[in-house]
Amino acid sequence: IREEQVSDEELNDATSYLTGSFPLKLDTNSKISNYLVFIEFYNLGLDYFDAYIKKIEAVTKDDIIRVAKKYIDPENYVFVAVAKQKDAGLKELE
């Protein structure tokens, strides 16, 4: 993701998921009020609800690489895998 562009399908899937699931975050009065607090706390502006989807749809493959290079450090990360120890073929920890 830091070196190769995501595919059109991956970008479209991510965009569709983020824009499609957004209304579900606002389907109750409680969720709306929590989101309004979030928007105010982070000073995101009163147009956040309208701007969110437009900003997600504006993300490009180059944006993804640029941000990945900035925030993903392959020399300094923790990899976590969750599995049943026997099913994953891992030896027992002592």
The residue length of the chain stands at: 94
Query: Could you write out the DSSP letters of every residue in 12-38?
Result: HHHHHHHHHHGGGGGSSHHHHHHHHHH
How many percent of the chain have pLDDT more than 70? 95
Q: What is the CATH number of domain 1-94?
A: 3.30.830.10
pLDDT, average across residues 10-32: 91
pLDDT in tens, 1-12: 788 899 999 999
Read off the pTM. Answer: 0.69
Domain boundaries, the chain: 1-94
